[in-house]
Amino acid sequence: MRHLASGYIRLRAARVHCEPSIGDVAGKTRNVDVGALIDSGWLRAHTPLDQADVYLCRPHPFMRRFVREPVDAGVPGERIRCEFFGPSDKALAA
């Protein structure tokens, strides 16, 4: 992600881990940018919401929790793209 984002001035990528390691929290590794789940407040503080397209790629349990956060922050639904990985679940489509 970082390599792709480095080629574009207006593209930013953030890697988030809800349970970062001690090294990640201390900033000793480059594996995590945010050591907690992103919420609508974080999006408002770090994202130009009037211009942003949001792309979510998350494991299934986290997607359920997070999928509403961009909408709650003010990003229109047509500018939010989601992809989850893990076992398929018909409940996600609802």
26 φ, ψ (degrees, to nearest 5): -80, -5
Q: Which residue has the tokens 């397209």?
A: 53
Each residue of 67-92: pLDDT tens digit? 888 888 989 989 998 887 776 655 55
Under 8 Å between Cβ of 21 and 7: no
CB-based contacts of 67, cutoff 8 Å, min separation 6: 56, 80, 82
Mean pLDDT of 46-61: 82
Domains of the chain: 14-87 (3.40.50.80)
The amino acid occupying position 55 is: Y
Q: What is the pTM of this model?
A: 0.59
